[in-house]
Amino acid sequence: MRGEATAAVEAWLKAHTPRLLDELFFFLRIPSVSTDPAYAEAIRDAAGLLLRRLARIGMQDVMLLEGGGHPSVFAQRADAPDTPTILIYGHYDVQPPDPLALWESPPFEPDLRDGKIFARGATDDKSPLWIALSALEGWLAVHGTLPVNVKLLLEGEEESSSRSLPTILAEHRDRLAADVMLSADGGRFRPGQASVNTSLRGVLALEVRLRTAAHDLHSGRYGGAVGNAAMALARLLASLHDDKNRVAVEGFFDGLQRPGNADVASVHALALDEAAFLAEVGARPGAGEPGVALLEALWFRPTVEVNGITAGYQGAGSKTVIPCEASAKLTCRLGLGQHPAKAAAAVVAHLRAHCPPWADLSIEHPGDGSAAYAVPEDDPFLAAVSRVIEDVHGQAPVRVGIGGTLPVASMVKQTLGLETVMLSYAISDERAHAPNEFFRLSSFDDGLTAWARVLPELAAARR
Amino acid sequence: MRGEATAAVEAWLKAHTPRLLDELFFFLRIPSVSTDPAYAEAIRDAAGLLLRRLARIGMQDVMLLEGGGHPSVFAQRADAPDTPTILIYGHYDVQPPDPLALWESPPFEPDLRDGKIFARGATDDKSPLWIALSALEGWLAVHGTLPVNVKLLLEGEEESSSRSLPTILAEHRDRLAADVMLSADGGRFRPGQASVNTSLRGVLALEVRLRTAAHDLHSGRYGGAVGNAAMALARLLASLHDDKNRVAVEGFFDGLQRPGNADVASVHALALDEAAFLAEVGARPGAGEPGVALLEALWFRPTVEVNGITAGYQGAGSKTVIPCEASAKLTCRLGLGQHPAKAAAAVVAHLRAHCPPWADLSIEHPGDGSAAYAVPEDDPFLAAVSRVIEDVHGQAPVRVGIGGTLPVASMVKQTLGLETVMLSYAISDERAHAPNEFFRLSSFDDGLTAWARVLPELAAARR
């Protein structure tokens, strides 16, 4: 499939890889944490670096798109009439580096060890994003034009629930108009297995707080007579699942669709060794829904998870106190077809119905949540990306779901009417969000090849 | 009942009250917190102050009794052949002052406001203890002898579960031999109501920890496939009670005795306004066992309380993490007849039986716990104390239980074979263990009178 034009770009990229990596390391040194206001200046630095690079490599209309929070970076080139317009997505913000003590090298001093780049943001999402920009640079350096029309949307708040993105998308609807979104974020299944992402779960978050008295009470003076907020919370949280580990919230599953046949076939084709998968993280079988394959559970089944509980005395030794307050953070992963607001309302109604009359319940919603997303099985851009992956890796890619969420996918579907296909060179074992996050050098090389080839391949695809 | 000798002591105490209060304030300034090693020097200072005072007022064999932790202070006088020997108990250690920000005056700078002494330890137990010592001083100052044989056991670890007390009692069994223990610790029911303590609940503590994976996991990448330690803990804790708020642990109630008729009569005689009692602390009815009177629940029913829960992410905002570890601190209050070790074993067996197979459960026991205690209804020393209370307050005292625990009571019963009667001038609303702890000045005056009178009254009592 590879023409001479593409081969020249690949040769250029190969020759310039050391410089491209140097620049990536510079990008990784910027602590662009979006969740903590202390890093606001670093966020601006990272956006500024992208603006300069995009202008330098020859992108046009390079600008910040503001939406009230951290801006997105935009740029475009329309060099190829009669080709589709590809909206390339990535994000330049990163998760906080905590816990710092567990890093073997400082999170913002990228370190090359054993063929891996260790740094916060290495796999999520700075290297995958850098690969995409480098492919554009290669095409522009060698040919002076791109083989397909390209727009860029580089977000600065992906790790903060994409708070401002709906505003940015709505305000710049025309500017962002395209035929498909191509995401540099996403993830490959595992090393040595060609794969293509075809779905994402949604997410919604709730914070639950119970109050049972004006202040903490002495368990001797009041125990047996007054309610215990920690106990009440435990009972409330326990009511969220039945004894088969299945979510027991009435109405929660409303709208949930079964995964498509091709996706179910993938689950079986991959024949995951479930016990080994769990053993890798020190977990044991039996915590999932009986009769549901592990990958089906991860990719397509909704969940209600308790992310944290705070109640009463947590110091050393014992303290005979009856906590007056207890709180829990919950997040739900959503399957295809579930509406985030309706699923949240079902959980809230369940909690209210199960809260004892002697406790005050308050519930906060940090954000609106995101729906799950799946690219249609017959999407021509998905087919184009799949052909490129097969070409580069010599293996037809397996369709894989992502258990996590890219809020942008459902947002651009809703606001811009675009489907999202993903071409990420991150791999799911690279410790995204965790200490010692890394990215494989070999993925950088493969990614440059794939991104160099995907641009002309998409030029020929049309819905 | 009051003879001339007692009247002279009372007059002396009245005349010397300002100086006695000055000395109490000096005692209250010592931050003798027993639970935190940082205060070890203050604990020694408080014990030293007691040693000096006891020697100065004329007590004999003044010494420290060591048991490996903070020492107890001992002293005695055997002035009255043919009278019983009374072992007077109190404690000189206090709870930590946290949370400091909620104190209106510094916890270790006693402040006199509205007829109340505000300070950590004011009601628990420095003022009640000071009253007892002052009564001894009065008798010795006026008469040079005590009207009954007296031994003193002033503990330094009551707020630390009386850890070393079993050792001290065992090592000094002969030295501490007596006919009855008279405790300055305990509590009156409420202002304006003459009362006498006749029972205490026991206590036991457990710490429960669940582990479900080697480290915290991303809820997108693992949610639905792996166990959630916070969720598992919630379910485990919820299983401890049934839907009637009754402890649902098999074997937990084994040995539990019904309260005596006189105690049940008290519950009814007091006719507590339960809704008002709960409203005082901002709590609502309905959290107790149905059909059990509030005071009966508080004084005689066993409980299982969750004192605190720690799990997962507790910071601001949401974090999509599956906690790999969750822990809870539990304390149980025990009713008369329950054996602490057997009750603990029942709870442990319940937790093991209800722990899901995909979680690792570990349980720690901070200490052995203490059994409940009740003084026999026909105890002659209880009758003597009751007569004194009626004499001082012009009202027959109501028998009241204590929902809390004085570990010393069951320990001296077991080791020394002594019953414990209580003559405390603390009142249960004086914020023991909480910010702005206080003690009423009027209780200091009443207490001096009662303690001056109780010594000759006990001299005449004999089992």
Alpha-carbon distance values, B460 to B8, B80, B154 (Å): 19, 11, 25
B308, A329: Cβ pair inside 8 Å? no
Rounded CA-CA distance A380/A179 in Å is 11
Share of chain B above pLDDT 70, in %: 99
Q: Do residue A322 and residue B309 have CB atoms under 8 angstroms apart?
A: no
Q: Prior bond to B99 cis, omega within 30?
A: yes
Q: How many residue pairs bridge chain A and chain B with CB atoms within 8 Å of each other?
A: 305
Note the pLDDT tens digit of each residue in A50-84.
999 999 999 999 999 999 999 999 999 999 999 99
Between chains, do A205 and B318 touch, taking CB under 8 Å as contact?
Answer: yes
**Taking CB atoms and an 8 Å limit, are B404 and A218 in contact across chains?**
yes
CA-wise closest residue to A416 among A153, A215, A119, A240: A153
In this predicted structure, the answer to whether residue B227 has a pLDDT above a threshold of 60 is yes
CB burial of residue B319 (10 Å; 0-12, 13-18, 19+) = buried
Please give the average per-residue pLDDT across B204-208, as a whole number: 96
Looking at the predicted structure, is the pLDDT value of residue A281 above 80?
Answer: yes
pLDDT higher than 60, residue A12: yes
Residue whose token pair is 């215990």: A228
If phi > 0 it is left, if psi is from -120 to 50 it is alpha, else beta; for residue A154 that is beta
C-alpha closest to that of B21 among B172, B122, B168, B98 = B122
Which of B329, B360, B365, B405 should be substituted to probe chain A, the one whose Cβ sees the most A Cβ atoms within 10 Å? Answer: B329
The span from the CA of A403 to the CA of A267, in Å, is 13
Place of tokens 């509590």: B187
Binning pLDDT at 50, 70 and 90, where does residue A463 land? low
- Considering only CB atoms, which chain A residues are within 8 Å of B306? 228, 230-231, 234, 311-312, 323
List chain A residues with CB under 8 Å of B203.
220, 320
Residue in B233, B240, B278 closest to A226 by CB:
B278
- pLDDT tier at A316 (50, 70, 90 boundaries)? confident
**Beta-carbon count within 10 A of A463 CB:** 11
**pLDDT for B236 beyond 80:** yes
* Contacting residues of A for B281, CB less than 8 Å apart: 213-215, 217, 222, 226
Interface test with chain B among A158, A203, A218, A305, by most B beta carbons within 10 Å: A305
- Nearest neighbour of A213 by CB, restricted to B281, B309, B313: B281
Which tokens go with A29?
A: 């040194």
Q: What is the mean pLDDT of chain A?
A: 95
Confidence of residue B463 (pLDDT cuts 50, 70, 90): low
Contact yes or no for B305 and A228 at CB 8 A: yes
pLDDT at B228: 98
pLDDT tens, position by position, B343-395: 999 999 999 999 999 999 999 988 889 999 999 999 999 999 999 999 999 99
| Residue B166, helix vs strand vs coil | helix
Residues B282/B410, Cβ–Cβ less than 8 Å = no
B203–A320 CB contact, under 8 Å? yes
Q: Which residues contact B339 (CB under 8 A, 6 or more apart)?
A: B254, B255, B371
Please compute Rg for chain B using Cα positions.
24
Residues of B with Cβ-Cβ distance to A430 under 8 angstroms: none
Nearest CA in chain B to A203: B220
- pLDDT at residue B274, rounded to an integer: 95
Task: Give the pLDDT confidence score for residue A44 in this predicted structure.
Answer: 97
Tens digit of each residue's pLDDT (9 = 90 or more) over A323-362: 999 999 999 999 999 999 999 999 999 999 999 999 999 9
pLDDT digits (tens, 9 = 90+) for B13-47: 999 999 999 999 999 999 999 988 999 999 999 99
Question: Using one digit for the tens of pLDDT, what is the confidence trace for A213-263?
Answer: 999 999 999 999 999 999 999 999 999 999 999 999 999 999 999 998 899
Render pLDDT for B264-282 as a digit per residue (tens, 0 to 9).
899 999 989 999 999 999 9
State pLDDT tens for residues A376-392. Answer: 999 999 999 999 999 99
Rounded to an integer, what distance in angstroms lies between the CA atom of residue A63 and that of residue A73?
A: 6
- Residue B429: pLDDT over 90: no
Nearest to A201 by CA among A334, A103, A83: A334
Q: Tell which of B190, B216, B221, B309 to mutate to test the A interface (max A CBs under 10 Å).
A: B309
Q: What is the mean pLDDT of residues A105-110?
A: 98
Q: What is the reported pLDDT for A35? A: 86
Summarised one tens digit per residue, pLDDT across range A35-50 is 889 999 999 999 999 9
pLDDT for B444 beyond 90: yes
Q: Find chain B residues with C-beta within 8 A of A404's C-beta.
A: 218-221, 320
pLDDT at A86 over 80: yes
User: Is A308's CB within 8 Å of B319's CB?
Assistant: yes
Average pLDDT, chain B: 95
The residue whose two tokens read 């508080």 is: B298
CB contact under 8 A, B228 and A405: no
Coil, helix or strand at residue B263:
helix
* Nearest CA distance, A277 vs chain B (angstrom): 10
Q: B222 and A403: CB-CB below 8 Å?
A: yes
Query: Cβ(B34)–Cβ(B157) under 8 Å?
Result: yes
For residue B152, pLDDT beyond 60: yes
Within 8 A of B402 by CB-CB distance, chain A residues are: 220
Interface contact flag, A403 B285, Cβ < 8 Å: no
Tell me how close the Cα of B149 comes to any Cα of chain A, in angstroms: 33
Handedness of CA A318, A320, A322, A325 (dihedral sign): negative
Which pLDDT score, from 0 to 100, does residue A429 have? 87
Question: Maximum distance among all alpha carbons in chain A?
Answer: 84
Distance from CA of B147 to the nearest CA of A (A): 35
- pLDDT range class, residue B318, cuts 50, 70, 90: confident
**Residues B233-262: what's their mean pLDDT?**
96
In this predicted structure, the answer to whether residue A1 has a pLDDT above a threshold of 70 is: no
Query: How many Å lie between the alpha carbon of A70 and the closest alpha carbon of chain B?
Result: 17
Contact residues, chain A, for B433 at CB < 8 Å: 218
Residue A404 has pLDDT above 90, yes or no: yes
pLDDT at A127 over 60: yes
Q: Look at A190 and A282; give whichever has higher pLDDT.
A: A282
How distant is the Cα of A292 from the closest Cα of chain B, in angstroms?
9
User: B1 falls in which pLDDT band (50, 70, 90)?
Assistant: low
Distance of CA B372 to the CA centre of its chain: 12
B218 vs A228, A357, A404: nearest CB:
A404
